[in-house]
Amino acid sequence: MSGKSPDQLRSARWFAPDDLRSFGHRSRLMQMGYAHADWVGKPVIAIVNTWSDINQCHGHFKQRVDDVRRGILQAGGFPIELPAISLSEPIVKPTTMLYRNFLAMETEELLRSHPIDGAVLMGGCDKTTPGLTMGALSAGLPFVFVPAGPMLSGQWRGQQLGSGSDAWKFWDERRAGNLSDDDWQEIEASISRSHGTCMTMGTAATMMGIAEAVGFTLPGASSIPAVDASHIRMCAASGRRIVDMVWEDLTPAAMLSRAHFENGIVCAMAMGCSTNAIIHLIAMSRRAGFPVTLDDFDVASRRVPVLANIRPSGDRYLMEDFHYAGGLRAMLSRVRHHLHLDAVNVNGRTLGDNIAGAQISDSDVIRPLDQPIYAEGALAVLRGNLAPDGVVMKPSACAPHLLQHTGRALVFDDYSSLKQATDDPSLDVTADDILVLRNAGPLGAGMPEWGMLPIPVKLVRQGVRDMLRLSDARMSGTSYGGCLLHCAPEAAVGGPLALVQTGDRITVDVPARRIHLEVSDQELAERRRHWQAPPPRWQRGYGWIFSRHVLQADQGCDFDFLERDFGAPVPEPDIF
């Protein structure tokens, strides 16, 4: 222990003074059965817990919170559990993306308004990792992130089933008439076998891995399966560590640099990450004051190969396999020449120290550099007259023949008309066409995961399993295919996507990072003269705040007023 003395603890402002207000604070703790020995001279540690009865991925947090608490007590801290919005990815509508910033605000204000010295953040289901860490970065207190960890692999008739990816795959088979009702119900009961997050390389696994690579978790934490006993030990160790971090005053400001977020990008590429990594990591880095950009992702994608053979970029394995093959430390050790090894982790040691000696026990799961899953990184950023501020895709999960393609646009203004049309067996469509969905960006619809547009049933029955699809939506990290996403500026603010018409031709050239609408500038200017903005989607409540303040996808979709440099720093609360 060094750095801080007990009277310098932030919580001492609430509990130490000999005045009436502090008497009130102390007597209210005693109302709950605590004695002075519980808190005097001890760091007060918030455990921000995103457990709820309806977040399947965090079901084990009801018990794990006691393991975190045990660690905090062992190290001489005083644990306080503070529940936060749970954000179950499949359940919350219209999309959890609408509420990521809500969780970030809640986390920041929970930490600021209570007598907290440091925090353990418990999350993992997609938006919870960025939401919790963005809020904690803005609060500025020391924190450790405890990842929920992936669920066990799905099992059905001798096959491993992967979250999301196999749902999409078998749904297409069902639409093609190849699966019975009984088959479908068996799959429904077999795909999610335990607590924990999606176990493909979806957004959850991506963001937990990035959190570890940036330095927010204990080394090796991010891939531990949720039900593994080592997950319990990791929780307790995180509780012990945060107490020391408070004494060391290891705040985000003391610990972080741009290098930490660049390490996150390298990790994302080597993992074969979800496209959502871009939005969330950009938002996190901006909160920390070290902004990374779309261009940083694209530069890294040219250099860092995909090494994790995890679906959907990989063809076979799932997160459980990844963990037992060595996990994130092992994967990072293979791309160590791309990393800033001197970046300090929450455990107080450098990334180089933390990955030293990592063993790879299965080189088919974590590939060597000369046998990558994909020679370039997981993501590509394309620009052109259709997307001046970028459109992103995942080339490693796309049929190779679509990476350079020109096709006819088939345009839809909303998801329900898209769905109706793609379910129509007489739809005028070929596999060479490019499906386009607009008004699904941040302002248009809260940016839901609609970007893996359904392949028209007519084509599915012909055996087509991939085609180019363009939107201003996001897609699930468990999705795959030739999906061009996050088109910015979005259609709802008048981005060029708003001007495309069915029958226009669009050229996509992934190696050249180019997307082009084959329509003259004069014609586009004429169309713009007739364009009308759609009516606002939300006219009261939280959606109203969201629609007035959300930033575009290339800027991370944070609220403008939550960005680091918006206005003066928020002061510590008055205590009178």
Choice from 75, 92, 116, 125 touching ligand FES (CB under 6 A): 125
The residue among 138 and 163 lying less far from ligand FES, judged by its C-beta, is: 163
**Neighbouring C-alpha atoms within 13 Å toward the C-beta of 348:** 13
* Residues in contact with ligand FES, shown as a per-residue x/- string from 73 to 112 under the rule CB under 6 A: ----------------xx----------------------
487-526 footprint of ligand FES as x/- string (CB under 6 A): ----------------------------------------
Query: Candidates 2-10, 194-202, 369-377, 438-446 — which segment interacts with ligand FES by CB under 6 A?
Result: 194-202
Give the Cβ contact number of residue 109 at 10 Å: 15
Tokens standing for 407? Answer: 């096709």
Q: Of residues 29, 44, 45, 57, which one binds ligand FES by CB under 6 A?
A: 57
CB-count burial class (<10 Å; 0-12, 13-18, 19+) for 565: exposed
Residues 134-193 that bind ligand FES (CB under 6 A): 163
39 burial (CB, 10 Å; 0-12 / 13-18 / 19+) is buried
29 counts as binding ligand FES under rule CB under 6 A: no
Closest CA to 435 of 463, 457, 466, 468: 468
- The H or E element spanning position 119 is strand 118-123
Total residues in contact with ligand FES, by rule CB under 6 A: 10
Q: Would you mind telling me the total number of residues written for the chain in this entry?
A: 576
CA–CA separation, 235 and 218 (whole Å): 9
Amino acid (1-letter code) at residue 115:
P
Smaller CB separation from ligand FES, 200 or 396: 200
Q: With binding defined as CB under 6 A, does residue 126 bind ligand FES?
A: yes
Distance CA 552, CA 161 (A): 35
Site membership for ligand FES, residue 475 (CB under 6 A): no
Are the CB atoms for 523 and 492 separated by under 8 Å? Answer: no
Q: How far is the CB of 476 from ligand FES (least distance, A)?
A: 8
Least Cβ distance, residue 210 to ligand FES (angstroms): 14
Measure Cα distances from 144 to 7, 494, 527 in Å.
Answer: 23, 41, 51
Nearer to ligand FES, 204 or 435 (CB): 204
Question: Least separation, in Å, of the C-beta of 128 and ligand FES?
Answer: 8
CB of 57 to ligand FES, least distance (A): 3
Region of 153-161, 198-206, 418-426, 513-521 interacting with ligand FES (CB under 6 A): 198-206
Are 484 and 393 in contact, with CB atoms under 8 Å apart?
A: yes
Query: What angle in degrees, to the nearest 10, is found between the helix axes of 97-113 and 128-139?
Result: 30
Which amino acid type is present at position 415?
Answer: Y
211 touches ligand FES (CB under 6 A) = no
Check binding of 198 to ligand FES (CB under 6 A): yes
The site map against ligand FES for 389-418 (x = CB under 6 A) is ------------------------------
Q: State how far the Cα of 517 lies from the Cα of 225, in Å rounded to an integer.
A: 45
Pick the stretch among 28-36, 195-203, 301-309, 484-492 that binds ligand FES (CB under 6 A): 195-203
Provide, rounded to whole angstroms, the least separation between the CB of residue 91 and ligand FES: 8
Residue 253, exposed/middle/buried by CB under 10 A (0-12, 13-18, 19+)?
A: exposed
**Selected range binding ligand FES among 197-205, 359-367, 431-439, 517-525, rule: CB under 6 A:** 197-205
Instruction: Give the list of residues 6+ apart from residue 202 with CB closer than 8 angstroms, or none.
Output: 126, 163, 164, 274, 476, 477, 478
C-beta closer to ligand FES: residue 86 or 347 = 86
Residues that bind ligand FES (CB under 6 A): 57, 89-90, 125-126, 163, 197-198, 202, 204
